[in-house]
Structures are given as structure tokens and as C-alpha cells.
Structure 1
Amino acid sequence: MDFVAWFDINNTLVNIPIGGGYAMSWIEAVGTVFGLLCIWYASQEKTINYVFGLINVTLFAIIFYQIQLYGILLLQFFFFCANLYGWYAWTRPTSDSGDMLEVRWLSKQKLAVTAAVSVVAIGLMTVYIDPFFFALANITVDGLNLFGADLARPTLEPDAFPFWDATMTVLSIVAQILMTRKYVENWMLWVVINVISVGIYAAQGVYALSIEYAILLFIAANGTRAWMKTAKQNQAKQLTTEKEAVA
């Protein structure tokens, strides 16, 4: 197989008999596998998840470029940077004594601020999602054309589910940031995101993606359970250390 052709979304790996039939490309299949590995290893608190995450977002960025979803393409750039930061944060000592970042809960103050910012951001994006992404897509195309891409400005239809789309986008960003800091709440947000995604993709007839997000929903639920247990253990260990220091 030609190396460049491997990245073509029309290079079909398998035809899946879902709905009216779904031709899954090589790049989508491999990108999906790395995405599932990323989420699974993150739920196990394994730093290697960021290696798989970097591969996943790179491959999906190529896919979104080919199908002209430039807003989501730019979101992949954010996830790429977040994966790099997460890799750094998970492997860097947080103190001179060599302590590493531990799984924990958000403080009440941080939780309140995060919730407030998320609600405002979702509200604003719901109202302005169409003009924002229309402008973003055109700016992206113009920028790519400066480097000789020779792309025509895309003709975009209004968002099919503006509120749910905005919710998934904002919560995905918040959840990714919380994951890089090892906050348990990130998995709870991924559960919400995946529930919405399963419904939205099924409603749009993209059944393969709906099934994928159902799998991710299971992994996120398992991640919630595992990290809650770890956070409880870390909290108990911290209290024991503080009591010993006082004594």
C-alpha cells in the first residue's frame, strides 16, 4: 500500500453493515484504536496514554482536514498541546522531595469556578456557534491557502444540535485540562460527553461513531470508579502523613 494513500479517508479497510453501510478507512480505524488505548490507559493512570493520545489526535486532524471540518480540526491542535502538557505534568515532580502529581478531587472553590466558567462558555457557544465556526473555518482556509493549499471556502450548514454540540465541545476541553492535573471529575465529564455523543451520532445516522462512543462511555465509567478509589486512598495517606507530622 502506498504510504501517502494510507492517510486517504477513501482508502477503505472494511465495510461495516451498519445502517446503510459504513466504509471505515485505514486511518480512521487505526486512529480509533489509538484513541481507545489512550482513554483506557488514562483510566489506569498510565502515562503511556499520552503517546497514544498524540497519535490519535494527529490522525484525526488529518481526517477532519480532508472532510473540511476545520473547527474540529483546530480542536485537535488543542488536544495535541494538552497531551504534551499532560505527559509533562504526570512525569514532573511537584516538589523538591520528588513527590509526583496524585489523583485527587477538585476543591469546592475550584469546582464552583470550573462549573461557572463551563456554563457561561456553553451558553455563549450555543448562541454564537454558527457565526464563530463559519468565521473560524474561513480564517483556517485562508491561512492554509497562504501555504499553497488552494482550498475553496467551505459552504457550511447551520449546526444541527447547537446546544449539545457546544456542550460537548466545552466539556471536552474542560475534561482534558482536568485530566492533565489528575482530577477525578474529568472522568465524570467524559461520561456526560460520551452519553451525549452516543445519542447525537445515532440521531445523525453515524452508527459506527455511536458504537465507538458507547465503548468510550464504558471506559470513562471504569475510569471514574478507579480514580475515585485512588483519590480516597491518596486522601487517607495524606491525612496519615499530616497526623504523623503533628505527632
Structure 2
Amino acid sequence: MDFLSWFDINNTLVNFSIGGGYAMSWIEAIGTIFGLLCIWFASKEKTINFFFGLINVTLFCIIFFQIQLYGLLLLQVFFFCANIYGWFAWTKSNTNGDSLEIRWLSKPKLAMTVALSAIAISLLTLYINPVFFALANFAVDVLNIFGANLADPTLQPGAFPFWDATMTVLSIVAQILMTRKYVENWILWVVINIISVGLYAAQGVYALSIQYAILLFVAANGARCWIAIANRNKPQVRKAIA
């Protein structure tokens, strides 16, 4: 078996006999493991989580490229950039020598985050098909610049536009909040994983539903750990880090 075959989604690692059957490829399995490691180390406030996150999103970029989900591929590119920024933000110190600490969003920031998220979800729900079609075509055009020689994608309308929009927007918001060490990121990941478990089960993809159930427990543990740390930090008089 040559090296490149490990990145082929048709190179099956294991077949699950649940539901209608599900073949998990090597690249999906490895990408999932690195994703779990990323979330676990993030819950422990370990900067190495971003290293595992970079590998995770890179492998899933390759997966989405092969199954022609170019909109999701671009979302992984965003997560890749967010991981690089998060790595920098978690390791740098401000002018006073203080590093970023786990904390809650202030009430004004929380209100703004909720309002912007609600507006974004509403708009994306209404326009999710043209938005993702445009993103897919943009991704194909960019890849073709580098010699991919891809045909224009033919995409089907989303089956669950509201839930797709909700998971997309909340995932972006949660990733941004994680890079700034806000506790609320874990609460959002818990919500996202609950939606994912139900959505994939409704579509009959039970293996993915189980995978997100595992992620749900990891995210819940992350929320528990960060809430405890944030509550310890809260009484201390420190200069707020923007």
C-alpha cells in the first residue's frame, strides 16, 4: 500500500454494521482521533490542542475535497486559520506580561454575540443553498488555479437548512471564542454536538451519531473544567484582556 492511498476515502479501515452500514476510512478515523485529542487538550487548557486541531482540519479538508463538499472544505480552511491564531493568542503575553486566561464573556459581549449569531443563523437559513453553492464554486475556482482541473460542482439543496445554518454559525462562533479562552465556547460545542447526534441519527448515519455523542461528553467535560477555572479566576483583580 503506497503512502497516498492512506488519504483515499475508499481505503476502508472498518465497516460498521449499524443502520444501513458505514465504512470508515483510514483518513476519517485518524482525523477523528486528532479531533478528539484537540478537544481533550483544549479542555485541559493545553496549547498543544491547536497542533492536533491543525492536523484534524487538514485531513478533513482532504475528505471534503474527495466527496466534493467544497463549502465545508472552505469552512475547514477557516478553522485552520483560527487554530493558527488561537495558538498565537494562547502563547503570547500582553504588554503587562499577562497571558490570556479562561473567563466568561462580559454581559455586553455576550449580548452582542447572541444577537449576531441569531441574525447570522436567520440569514443563512434563508440563503444557505445559494451561499454554499457560491462557496463551493469559489473553492473549485481556487483549486483550479492550482491545477486541480475540477468541473463545476452540482449540489443538492440542503435537507435541514435551519439546523445546517445553526451548526455552521455556532461552530464558527465557538471556534472564535475558544481562541480567546471564553467559557461559552464549550457551551456552544455541547449544543452543536447535541444537534449533530440528532441530525445524523435522523439521516440514518448512526456511526457519525455515535461519534458526535462521544464528542458531546468531551465537550461537556471541557465546559465543566473551564467553568471551574473561570469561577476561580473571577474574584481576582486582573486587567481584562480584550
Matched to 1:101, the amino acid is L
SS of 1:14's equivalent in the other structure is strand
Q: Check the 8 A contact 2:74/2:135 in 1, yes or no.
A: no
* CA distance in 2 between partners of 1:35 and 1:4 (Å): 21
Percent of aligned positions with the same letter in both sequences?
A: 75
**C-alpha displacement at 1:142, in angstroms?**
2.5
Cα distance between partner residues in 1 of 2:37 and 2:230: 22
Deviation by residue 1:44-97 (Cα, 9 ceiling, x = unmatched): 11111001000000000000000000000000000000000101011101233x
Corresponding residue SS for 1:196: helix
User: Cα deviations across residues 22-51 of structure 1 (Å, max 9, x unaligned)?
Assistant: 111110000000000100111111111001
Structure 1 position 65 matched with structure 2 position 65: yes
Task: Give the match's secondary structure for 1:4.
Answer: helix
C-alpha distance in structure 2 between counterparts of 1:238 and 1:227, whole Å = 18
Is 1:168 the counterpart of 2:167? The answer is yes
List, as ranges, runs of 4+ consecutive aligned residues in structure 1 with deviation greater than 6 Å: none
Q: Secondary structure at the match of 2:19?
A: coil
Larger radius of gyration, structure 1 or 2? 1
Q: Which residue of 2 aligns with 1:46?
A: 46
What secondary structure sits across from 1:77 in the alignment?
A: helix
Query: Structure 1 residue 143: deviation in Å?
Result: 2.6
> Which letter maps to 2:127?
Y
Shift of 1:159: 0.5
User: What amino acid does structure 2 have at the position aligned with 1:178?
Assistant: L
Residue 121 of structure 2 corresponds to: 122
Displacement after TM superposition at 1:146 (Å): 2.8
Q: Secondary structure at the match of 2:237?
A: helix
Match of 2:235, SS?
helix
Q: 1-side partners of 2:181 and 2:135: how far apart?
A: 31
SS in 2 for 1:24: strand
RMSD of aligned alpha carbons: 1.3
Aligned residues: 239
In structure 2, stretches of 5+ residues that fail to align are none
TM-score, normalised relative to structure 2: 0.96
What is the match of residue 244 of structure 1? none
Aligned to 2:27: 27
Unaligned stretches of 5+ in structure 1? 242-247
Residue identity in the other structure for 2:76: Q
Taking structure 1 as the reference length, the TM-score comes to: 0.94
Question: What residue is the counterpart of 1:245 in the other structure?
Answer: none
- How far apart are the structure 2 equivalents of 1:138 and 1:180? 29
1:77 corresponds in structure 2 to 77
